[in-house]
């Protein structure tokens, strides 16, 4: 997936989510809140439509490096720390290998460490902890991969190393861009390339979180097939609601046919990484592969569906039971091969309201640039519900909580919030607050606060109160 060096700089069931303590807010333990990657916190009742308009910055904290934050902030609620204290703790990481934990109440650093990172001249970017880590509250730990291809398990409370693994020995050709995922005690790591320069092989690595053993590795094009086939989506792979299926969208191969093997495909895998089904939906000629993560959705009266975005603006809808038959619906949105204007990331989904949210990086046909909400109709098709103005460029993936949907506006150095039912803008952070801190990492909303990472390595926390609405 070639992105002119730009994205190189960016980058299951709710019953499985365990709160840190009785009565505490839930954790934001993984990219998109849950392994499905639906990007909705259904338990958020403190920050809602009624008070989101009064959000103001509570604190900001420097991670202690010059790198960019390309990861979504994670939150462990009600964490027991040394000294018999209980705190909500926020975690963030940077492109220069820095990972740190902060007290969610005041932004004071609890611990911070620096791991491997590289600077790549062809991409003209730094690569450290690019993919969002994942929390494992059962083990009181977090998992991540650094820029030198080493995976780590650290203690949530102290940051001490518990274990580590080698994912790749060639970090100047292979990188983990995507968020790690955790389902049924298995950590999934998705691997892609560096500016599409061979040799490299896209793959998924499955690690048992208990034993630490590598359970399986799936190569997009086989161990000896065509180079390429990376998994580039910020959210990595997604997991079905029942945890019995994994979904990946792959990039182009370096073969004469860019969709050879399982490249440029939607792929359904078992938890043990056996391919159950796949489909190449037909993409425009050239570097028009998938740079997104398929989102499983399910509403009453419809079969289980899968929604996936293509870089050039294709929005595909699949019937999960019939993936080889191809998409049941195709919608052409804005998009481009240039990472600044590609359709990337993954949508957010509000199942109770049958609404799907995404950013549109360019005007195409009847769909204007900005922010879009689609409703799943009784006929199981997507239909535009509302549009809100926004920049014709790449931003963050959306985050949904308390009936409000939030987007980072990329180089506009701004976070915007909309009433998720109507599309009415209710708040914006303002570039004066984020002052040159471009926002490409999706924000997180937990326990009445919004957390976001700035492009200059600064973590921000916002909370309501003390002012009128937008």
**Among 47-51, 109-113, 120-124, 276-280, the least confident range:** 120-124
Q: 64-84 pLDDT, tens per residue?
A: 877 899 899 999 999 999 888
- 282 phi-psi bin (left φ>0, alpha ψ -120 to 50, beta other): left
- pLDDT classification of 10: cutoffs 50, 70, 90: very low
Q: What is the DSSP letter of 140?
A: T
Q: Is the pLDDT of residue 460 over 90?
A: yes
List the beta strands (DSSP E) in 320-429: 329-332, 348-350, 355-360, 370-376, 382-388, 399-401, 404-408, 415-419, 425-428
Q: Of 91 and 16, which is predicted with more confidence?
A: 91
Q: What pLDDT, on a 0 to 100 scale, did the predictor assign at position 436?
A: 66
Q: Is the pLDDT of residue 286 over 80?
A: no
**Among 4-13, 55-64, 128-137, the least confident range:** 4-13
Mean pLDDT, range 234-263, rounded to an integer: 94
Q: Is the pLDDT of residue 469 over 80?
A: no
**Among 87-96, 189-198, 236-245, 352-361, the least confident range:** 189-198
Q: 142-152 pLDDT, tens per residue?
A: 999 999 999 99
Mean pLDDT, range 106-124, rounded to an integer: 92
- Arithmetic mean of pLDDT over the chain: 91
Tokens, residue 376: 């799943």
Say how many CA atoms lie within 13 Å of 307 toward its Cβ. Answer: 26
Mean pLDDT, range 180-206, rounded to an integer: 95
Alpha helices in 293-402 (DSSP H): none
Q: What is the DSSP letter of 325?
A: G
Q: Is the pLDDT of residue 110 over 70?
A: yes
Mean pLDDT, range 216-237, rounded to an integer: 96
Sign of the Cα pseudo-torsion (335, 340, 346, 349, in order): negative
* Locus of tokens 């010059």: 66
Angle (CA) 407 67 393, round 5°: 35
Q: What pLDDT, on a 0 to 100 scale, did the predictor assign at position 22?
A: 37
H or E segment to which residue 132 belongs = none
- pLDDT classification of 172: cutoffs 50, 70, 90: very high
Residue in 142, 243, 100, 227 with CA at minimum distance from that of residue 183: 243
Percent of the chain past pLDDT 90, that is, above it, reads 79
Q: What pLDDT, on a 0 to 100 scale, did the predictor assign at position 470?
A: 53
Q: Is the pLDDT of residue 287 over 90?
A: no
d(CA 441, CA 427): 18
Mean pLDDT, range 263-290, rounded to an integer: 93
Q: 339-372 pLDDT, tens per residue?
A: 888 999 899 999 999 999 999 999 998 999 999 9
CB 214 within 8 A of CB 112: no
Q: What pLDDT, on a 0 to 100 scale, did the predictor assign at position 125?
A: 85
What pTM did the predictor assign?
0.94
CATH code for the domain defined by 7-463 = 2.140.10.10
């Amino acid at each position: 997936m070639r992105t002119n060096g730009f994205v190189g700089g960016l980058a299951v069931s709710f019953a499985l989510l365990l709160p840190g303590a009785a009565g505490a807010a839930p954790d934001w333990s993984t990219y998109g809140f849950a392994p499905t990657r639906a990007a909705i916190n259904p338990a958020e009742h403190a920050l809602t439509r009624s008070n989101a308009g009064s959000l103001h910055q509570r604190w900001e904290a420097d991670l202690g490096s010059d790198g960019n934050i390309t990861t979504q902030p994670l939150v462990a609620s009600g964490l027991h720390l040394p000294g018999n204290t209980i705190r909500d703790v926020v975690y963030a990481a940077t492109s220069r290998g820095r990972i740190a934990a902060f007290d969610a109440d005041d932004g004071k650093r609890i611990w911070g460490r620096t791991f491997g990172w590289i600077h790549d001249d062809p991409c003209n970017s730094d690569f450290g902890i690019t993919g969002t880590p994942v929390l494992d509250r059962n083990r009181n730990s977090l998992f991540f991969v650094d820029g030198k291809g080493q995976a780590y398990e650290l203690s949530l409370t102290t940051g001490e190393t518990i274990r580590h693994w080698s994912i790749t020995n060639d970090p100047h050709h292979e990188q983990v861009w995507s968020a790690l995922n955790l389902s049924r005690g298995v950590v999934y790591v998705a691997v892609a390339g560096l500016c599409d320069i061979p040799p490299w092989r896209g793959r998924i690595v499955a690690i048992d979180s208990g034993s630490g053993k590598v359970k399986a590795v799936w190569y997009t094009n086989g161990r000896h097939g065509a180079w390429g086939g990376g998994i580039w989506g910020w959210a990595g792979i997604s997991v079905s609601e029942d945890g019995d299926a994994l979904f990946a969208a792959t990039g182009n191969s370096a073969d004469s046919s860019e969709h050879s093997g399982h490249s440029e495909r939607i792929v359904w895998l078992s938890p043990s990484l056996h391919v159950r089904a796949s489909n190449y939906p037909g993409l425009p000629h050239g570097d028009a592969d998938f740079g997104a993560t398929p989102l499983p959705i399910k509403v009453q009266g419809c079969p289980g569906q899968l929604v996936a975005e293509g870089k050039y603006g294709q929005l595909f809808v699949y019937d999960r039971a019939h993936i080889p038959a191809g998409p049941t619906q195709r919608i052409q949105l804005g998009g481009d091969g240039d990472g600044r204007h590609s359709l990337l990331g993954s949508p957010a989904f509000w199942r109770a309201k049958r609404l799907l949210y995404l950013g549109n990086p360019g005007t195409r046909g009847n769909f204007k640039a900005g922010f879009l909400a689609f409703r799943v109709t009784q006929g199981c098709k997507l239909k535009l519900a509302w549009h809100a103005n926004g920049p014709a460029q790449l931003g963050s993936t959306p985050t949904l909580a308390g009936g409000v949907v939030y987007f980072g506006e990329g180089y506009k150095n701004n976070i915007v919030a909309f009433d998720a039912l109507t599309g009415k803008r209710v708040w914006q952070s303002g570039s004066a607050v984020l002052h040159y801190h471009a926002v490409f990492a999706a924000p997180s909303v937990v326990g009445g606060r919004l957390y976001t990472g700035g492009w200059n390595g600064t973590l921000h926390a916002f909370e309501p109160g003390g002012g009128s609405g937008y």
